[in-house]
């Protein structure tokens, strides 16, 4: 009989000092070999559940835990220690920087085994196997800090696998990864599901979770839906309501009024065609003609820029770019390809080792850092790198005050910045009580208060659920439409397709492609060779012989003979 490996029975947890339970009435049973994915909006209790499973709750994170759970047949009652559960259930965290601590790959992998008092010869075998499994054989002596993001996350997985847990739980392991890194992790999960007794994964990218056996939808601490992907993902509105970007195939089908249970691109396209929909004769020409009017004069000129940290390989190597007023530029490429280094030249945080960067007609070497910072607003990846004030208002006023603007002007600008970012009315709130999405908006607001002509944003959507992402992206779009030039670093290709005008692709410190977004997506082979992937909606468009940027464009390009 296929006995469940994990059974949760009416599990509930309330954090100490919290009024509301973070988990409530969780009943779940995990069969051997099953691959389960948990989805849900920020604050739904996904991470809390993961931490319950391996015992961090309640032995490390305090609070009140009720209900019981059985792991591999043995009932866990009372307060099992993390290290007892850790042998059975391994946990991989989202932040791959903070979970690695050794000086080389093999010691990192061996750490858990040392604690479990595994014999030395056995340990060597297991370390070797675990590293082989995740594709890191040959990296044994490397310093983890020298690995790419994807490699670091795979190392974290190896260090858990080496302990041979029955079940591996991964809490948003791909959030901070580039498209290749993401793909590698999902491929790995595919292989692992057959080798260990089960995988539980928290993940937002619906397209990647189609191969799961079961999807759990969480909301306010409860599991409110459970079933195979075909059932759980086929209602785009329901999924979107819960903070998850719906499958674009289902969005298309629902827009056309068809049954939405064809989830893959191929199935969805054939359903659309067999329902009689045809591509309009002039569709692609119409799409190509749908371009933003020519932008204004040149704002930023980058000429033969080379930048080197110490004696290392140049991080940016011979880049020339010209950015015009009013443009919305997306800067994409693998982790470590030089995007952030390039972006930091725009506001003078880096000065060129060779070549020149001119902003508003003046070389960045001739600007003072504060003056340039006022004209080029830079929003760092993590809002928590900069938030320090007691109130939202103070936080936003910080920049404007630094530039010595009169208090009246400061107040006016702060008001305007809060209004445009949707934070009006929250002036006196403590920034640390805001949600991650609101903190990201606050970071944008605090840059806007100095009225910059150019906005540079480093991965503004990381760590946000779909609602949060759409909110910040629409904000950025509004700012761009009101005349600000936007340069945005991102890993999300759908964001590039739907929001940017121009796409600059970097690889190894060079710009390898620079052009109109649609033209960048017209060449899937090139994207593939750069380890990038066209987003789902774009690939869905390919099925109709179109180069589109969104599902809406597909809908606009189709016609039905019956009208």
Q: Is the dihedral of CA 276, 282, 287, 293 positive or negative?
A: negative
Minimum separation from the CB atom of position 412 to another protein (A): 17
Distance of alpha carbon 359 from alpha carbon 544, whole angstroms = 42
Distance, C-alpha 52 to centroid of its chain: 24
Minimum separation from the CB atom of position 480 to another protein (A): 20
Distance of alpha carbon 35 from alpha carbon 147, whole angstroms = 28
Nearer to another protein, 138 or 425 (CB): 138
Name the residue among 321, 431, 38 with its Cα closest to residue 201: 38
Nearer to another protein, 96 or 277 (CB): 96
Phi, psi of 479 (to 5 degrees): -65, -40
| Identified binder of another protein from the candidate list 23, 37, 112, 444, rule CB under 8 A | 112
According to the binding rule CB under 8 A, does residue 102 interact with another protein?
Answer: yes
Q: Which of residues 44-63 bind another protein (CB under 8 A)?
A: 51, 54, 56, 59-60
Minimum separation from the CB atom of position 195 to another protein (A): 20
Minimum separation from the CB atom of position 74 to another protein (A): 18
Q: How many helices (H) and strands (E) does the chain have?
A: 23, 22
According to the binding rule CB under 8 A, does residue 542 interact with another protein?
Answer: no
**Other CB atoms within 10 A of residue 167 CB:** 24
Minimum separation from the CB atom of position 57 to another protein (A): 10
Spatial contact of 505 and 511, defined as CB atoms under 8 Å apart:
yes
Name the residue among 466, 535, 547, 555 with its Cα closest to residue 252: 555
With both helix axes pointing from N to C terminus, report the angle between 466-481 and 436-448 in degrees, rounded to the nearest 10.
20
Write the binding mask 353 to 382 for another protein: x where contact by CB under 8 A, - elsewhere.
----------------xx--xx--xx-x--
According to the binding rule CB under 8 A, does residue 24 interact with another protein?
Answer: no
Spatial contact of 37 and 217, defined as CB atoms under 8 Å apart:
no
Q: What are the residue ranges of helices labelled H in 454-550?
A: 466-481, 493-499, 517-521, 524-529, 536-542
| Identified binder of another protein from the candidate list 93, 367, 521, 544, rule CB under 8 A | 93
According to the binding rule CB under 8 A, does residue 222 interact with another protein?
Answer: no
Write the binding mask 423 to 462 for another protein: x where contact by CB under 8 A, - elsewhere.
---------x-------------xx--x------------
Q: What is the dihedral of CA 101, 457, 467, 206, to 10 degrees?
A: -60
Q: Which of residues 160-189 bind another protein (CB under 8 A)?
A: 160, 163
| Identified binder of another protein from the candidate list 117, 294, 482, 561, rule CB under 8 A | 117
> 276: exposed, middle or buried (C-beta count within 10 Å: 0-12, 13-18, 19+)?
exposed
Among 158-166, 224-232, 319-327, 515-523, the segment contacting another protein (CB under 8 A): 158-166
Spatial contact of 103 and 143, defined as CB atoms under 8 Å apart:
yes
Minimum separation from the CB atom of position 386 to another protein (A): 4
Phi, psi of 561 (to 5 degrees): -60, -25
Nearer to another protein, 210 or 429 (CB): 429
How do beta strands 376-379 and 454-458 pair?
parallel
According to the binding rule CB under 8 A, does residue 125 interact with another protein?
Answer: no
**Other CB atoms within 10 A of residue 354 CB:** 14
Nearer to another protein, 15 or 380 (CB): 380
Nearer to another protein, 151 or 501 (CB): 151
According to the binding rule CB under 8 A, does residue 111 interact with another protein?
Answer: yes
According to the binding rule CB under 8 A, does residue 341 interact with another protein?
Answer: no
- Chain residues binding another protein by CB under 8 A are 51, 54, 56, 59-60, 81-83, 86-87, 90-91, 93, 95, 97-104, 106-107, 110-120, 123-124, 127, 145, 159-160, 163, 344, 347, 349, 369-370, 373-374, 377-378, 380, 384-389, 398-399, 402-403, 432, 446-447, 450
């Amino acid at each position: 009989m296929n006995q469940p490996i994990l059974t949760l029975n009416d599990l509930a947890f309330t954090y100490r000092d919290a009024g509301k339970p973070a988990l409530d009435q969780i009943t779940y049973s995990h069969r051997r070999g099953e691959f389960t994915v948990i989805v849900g909006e920020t604050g739904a209790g996904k991470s809390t559940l993961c931490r319950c499973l391996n015992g961090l709750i309640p032995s490390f994170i305090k609070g009140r835990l009720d209900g019981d759970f059985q792991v591999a047949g043995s009932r866990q009652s009372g307060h099992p220690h993390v290290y007892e559960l850790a042998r059975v259930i391994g946990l991989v965290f989202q932040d791959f920087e903070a979970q690695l601590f050794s000086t080389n790959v093999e010691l990192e992998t061996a750490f858990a085994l040392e604690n479990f008092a595994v014999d030395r010869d056995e340990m060597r075998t297991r370390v070797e196997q675990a590293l082989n499994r995740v594709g890191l054989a040959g990296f044994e002596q490397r310093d983890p800090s020298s690995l790419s993001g994807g490699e670091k996350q795979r190392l974290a997985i190896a260090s858990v696998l080496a302990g041979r847990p029955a079940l591996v739980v991964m809490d948003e392991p791909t959030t901070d990864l580039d498209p290749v890194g993401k793909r590698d992790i999902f491929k790995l999960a595919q292989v692992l599901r057959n080798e260990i007794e089960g995988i539980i994964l928290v993940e937002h990218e619906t397209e990647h979770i189609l191969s799961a056996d079961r999807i759990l939808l969480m909301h306010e601490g409860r599991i409110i839906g459970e079933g195979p992907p075909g059932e759980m993902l086929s209602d785009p509105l329901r999924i979107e309501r819960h903070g998850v970007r719906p499958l674009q195939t289902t969005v298309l089908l629902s827009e056309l009024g068809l049954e939405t249970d064809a989830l893959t691109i191929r199935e969805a396209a054939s359903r659309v065609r067999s329902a009689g929909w045809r591509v309009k004769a002039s569709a692609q020409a119409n799409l190509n003609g749908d371009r933003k009017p020519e932008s204004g004069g040149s704002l930023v000129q980058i000429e033969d820029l080379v930048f080197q940290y110490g004696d290392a390989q140049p991080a940016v190597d011979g880049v020339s770019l010209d950015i015009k007023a009013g443009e919305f530029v997306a800067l994409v490429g693998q982790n470590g390809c030089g995007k952030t280094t390039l972006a930091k030249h725009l506001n003078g945080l880096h000065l060129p080792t060779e070549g020149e960067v001119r902003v508003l007609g003046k070389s960045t070497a001739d600007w003072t850092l504060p003056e340039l910072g006022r004209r080029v607003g830079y929003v760092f990846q993590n809002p928590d790198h900069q938030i320090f004030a007691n109130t939202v208002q103070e936080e936003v006023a910080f920049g404007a005050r630094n530039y010595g603007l009169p208090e009246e002007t400061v107040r006016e600008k702060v008001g305007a910045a809060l209004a445009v970012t949707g934070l009006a009315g929250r002036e006196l709130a403590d920034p640390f009580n805001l949600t991650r999405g609101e903190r990201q908006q606050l970071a944008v607001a605090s840059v806007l208060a100095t009225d910059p002509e150019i906005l540079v944003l480093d991965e503004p959507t990381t760590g946000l659920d779909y609602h949060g992402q759409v909110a910040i992206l629409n904000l950025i779009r509004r700012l761009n439409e009101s005349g600000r030039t936007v340069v945005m670093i991102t890993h999300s290709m759908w964001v590039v397709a739907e929001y940017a005008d121009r796409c600059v692709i970097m690889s190894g410190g060079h710009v390898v492609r620079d052009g109109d977004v649609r033209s960048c997506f017209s060449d899937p082979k090139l994207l593939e060779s750069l380890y990038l992937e066209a987003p789902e909606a774009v690939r869905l468009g390919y099925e109709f012989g179109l180069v589109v940027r969104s599902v809406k464009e597909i809908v606009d390009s189709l016609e039905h003979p019956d009208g």
